[in-house]
Structure 1
Amino acid sequence: MITASHNPKDYNGFKICRQQAQPLSGQAGLDKIKEAMENEIIQKSPQRGNIARKDVSVEYAEHCLSFINPAKIKPFKIVVDAGNGMAGMTLPPVFEKLPIEVTKLFFELDGSFPNHPASPIELENLVDLQKKIAEVKADFGVAFDGDADRMFLVDKFGHQVGGDMVTALVSDNLLDKYPGETILYNLICSKAVPELIERKGGKAIKTRVGHALIKPLMKKHNAIFGGEHSGHFYFRDFWFSDSGLIAFLVCLDLLSRSDMQLHDKIAEIDPYFRSGEINTKVDSVKDKIEQITEFCSDGEIDRMDGISVAYKDFWFNLRPSNTEPLLRLNAEAISKEILDKKLEEILAIIRS
């Protein structure tokens, strides 16, 4: 697939998969291709490939809708921001089959992204959606990124629902229908996610961050679903690949069945306070992580991805960026006072 995903208009890129939708990444296949190209040892096939053009939009819509019962969906009033990306093409055939009232924003395909970057994880890119939700008095809204593999919900008050909370919502719905299933979540997600999965009788498995790591693990554990704080949601019945549209539909189904507003449902499952991701440039990533490890030696330490430290009332993860001399901090606590106090202590060390 040729796509720059959620990146700005000046970017472009490739998403490369092998058979059965297995993704290639820097440490999972692409490194071998790079080595082969640099050493000119690529083996050319004796047969040439071919190019075929086929419109699968109807079949795609039907498959996405197979995750729910459209007849059971309530007539919600929803604002949808397609961000001038691919959601503008993939969503309309699905909406035609649903009894919802949709107010459309930026459904015109335009790779220059004239209205805002198609990256709904950043709050500044949700301003138009938040205004329109208030203007039309919608029940909630949803925004998709450039290639529509990610999505974020926004409640009627304009509050963004984090990817981890969407992971919890999807898990809630799927475990009602398929009890005892395995669900993966990355280590940045709120504690509310594994707590809900286990409370519903499912098996929760924590993973490192990144689709190239999660997809193989989903196959290994035959997990029905996997979610990330970044808004990536993976489904076993979607070839273990991610789909923002399917996640949206499953959440729509949950809200229809529960007879609750989005903000009320989130309040029901989320008792915690989170920092969001705090990025800090540092001279030495390794030295800072070791300083933090020493400072937090009285906590429960996990080095699955960077360093995670857990206490009774607070936890955090500190991990390096893959591309910059940055440390990424995510934290969560049972109260805002504890969160603020702990963040002040940790950031003082990181920024010293």
Structure 2
Amino acid sequence: MAGIFKAYDIRGIYPDQITEEIAFKIGYYFRDLLDEDDLARGPVVVVSRDMRSHSTPLAEALRNGLRARGVAVIDIGVCDTPQNYFGVGHLKASGGIQVTASHNPAKYNGFKMSRRDAIPVAYDTGIEKLEGLVNRSAVDVGMAPQADQREENVFAAYTEHALKRFTSSEPRLKVAADAANGMAVIYGPILDRLNIEFVPLYWELDGTFPNHEANPLKLENLVDLQALVIEKGCDCGVSFDGDADRAMMVDEKGQAIAADLITGLLAPRFLRDEQGAAIIYDLRSSWATKEAIEEAGGVPIRERVGHSFMKATMRRHNSPFGGELAGHFYFRDNYTADSSIMALIEVLCTLRETGKPLSELVAPLRRYFPTGEINFHVDDKEGMIRRLEKDFSDGEIDFVDGITVQYDDWWFNVRPSNTEPLLRLVLEARTAELREEKKAVLLGYLGEPEG
């Protein structure tokens, strides 16, 4: 796996790595990733794009490639990635492709792909095959279309779908939201239905991202939102990423809330009427997330990092809800796909139903002391993981994703990045002092953090 063909999508610099010719070939060969059940729905593929200027010509080339192969296209226009997933399921399409580079800087672009019912296409379930087909291809990008194309707007249907679990509209809340000039800007009409006093930040579509990187996982990108929440006296704040499939929350005190704690906070809403249901969380998550799921009567299931793994495990266990540390929140009733706006709706309903401020609701979950995710450049990744296995053999070890070692009072995970040439460390302890002590030990193995 190298170049533009990644673990979960296709992504690179435009026009050096991602070109209209590449886009055409991706469309042309996408049909080869669809099985009989997918193809029985058409074949027809939902195509959409984000607000980057080069997404327009890339989407056109992509559609031409699909149609040249006899695959009809439903163009749902400029929209967020979650709406593409919804469109695939709602329109009963064979699959979908969103032209986006998510949170990456303006010079990047790419493609997120799914099959029927928004089943994700990852490297081992199609991208690797597509990589071989595209790289060996001599297909004529000027081929005439063999299938039709139509435009359709699914936003009204998506709005009603997202609001299905909006069960508490009082009292009126004040909410600051940072779109980072990304696709969450289109959520205005949904926010208007939530009985909130809306305080927008960087709420204009601009694929150059003039204000800050559209990645809410980096704390430096939350600073302006945190200040706005305090200045305006908001009940909470939310920061979206570039294609609006992730969200990070800020409480009324301006404090950022890690997404794993939001998973723990929201789990009880899904377990009230479904005791014993499985709730899926990724293995970077706090012990508090697992404990909150158990306390609410659920079965916590720990999964490796990545939306394709999370979604597959949710489908296998018929799980109503899952969450990742990166800010992805997954909903069974949303074709097991992620939706940032649906996550925000759940948080607002929780605030209203409890009558408590967000900081107070999250406080019991802040019972441990995490490092957050730390990146390291390590030349021999496999060798390092074997060394950690040997030297920490007195702990409880598993290899679900990289290596996780657990003790009674602390744990750590070291895993190779699925998207970058890095090892990533997450560590948590019962006290801040122990966290710092054990972090220093791990730094002795992994070296100085990147950046």
Q: TM-score, normalised by structure 2?
A: 0.74
Asked whether 1:50 is paired with 2:148, we answer yes
Structure-1 residue corresponding to 2:393: 297
1:236-315 to 2 correspondences below 5 Å:
236-315=332-411
- Which stretch has the larger CA shift, 48-57 or 135-144? 48-57
1:105-148 CA-to-partner distances (Å, cap 9, x unmatched) read: 11211111111111111111112111111211112110111111
* Cα offset, 1:41, TM superposition: 10
Counterpart residue type for residue 183 of structure 2? M
What's the secondary structure of 2:165's corresponding residue? coil
Match of 1:25 among 110, 119, 122: 122
2:317 is aligned to 221
Match of 1:35 in 2: 132
Within 1, Cα distance between the matches of 2:246 and 2:421? 26
Q: Which runs of 5 or more structure 1 residues have no equivalent in the other structure?
A: none
1:76 aligns with 2:198: no
Name which of 171, 182, 193 aligns with 1:85. Answer: 182
DSSP-derived class of the 2:153 partner: coil
Asked whether the equivalents of residues 57 and 93 of structure 1 are also in contact (C-alpha less than 8 Å), the reply is no
Q: Hey, what's the Cα distance between the residues in 1 that align with 2:155 and 2:132? A: 37
- The answer to whether the 8 A contact 1:68-1:249 is kept is yes
Over 3 Å counting, the alpha-carbon distance change for 1:270 and 1:175 in structure 2 is farther
Contact 1:58 1:93 in 2 (8 A): no
- Identity between Structure 1 and Structure 2 (%): 42
Question: Of 269, 277, 288, which residue of structure 2 is paired with 1:192?
Answer: 288
CA deviation string 1:54-90 (max 9, x = no partner): 222221111111012143x42111111111111101x
CA, structure 1 residues 118+325, in 2 after alignment: closer, same or farther (shift >3 Å)? closer
Q: Which residue of 1 aligns with 2:200?
A: 104
Whether the 8 Å contact between 1:284 and 1:325 is mirrored in structure 2 is: no
Cα pair 2:265 2:292 within 8 Å, conserved:
no
Question: Structure 2: how far apart are the matches of 1:53 and 1:93?
Answer: 21
Query: Contact (CA 8 Å) 2:168, 2:352: kept in 1 or not?
Result: no
CA drift at 1:31:
1.1
Within 1, Cα distance between the matches of 2:305 and 2:363?
A: 26
Residue 2 in 1 paired to residue 99 in 2? Answer: yes
Instruction: State yes or no: 1:171 paired with 2:270.
Output: no
In structure 1, C-alpha distance between the alignment counterparts of 2:396 and 2:138, rounded to whole Å:
47
Unaligned runs of 5+ in 2: 1-97
Normalized against structure 1, the TM-score is what? 0.94
Residue 127 (structure 1) aligns with: 223
Q: What is the Cα deviation at residue 177 of structure 1?
A: 3.9
Whether contact under 8 Å (1:183, 1:225) holds in the other structure is yes
**2:424 maps to 1:328:** yes
Deviations 1:177-211 (A, max 9, x none): 43222111110111111111111111111111001
How far did residue 294 of structure 1 move? 1.6
What is the alpha-carbon distance in structure 1 between the residues aligned to residue 421 and residue 240 of structure 2? 29
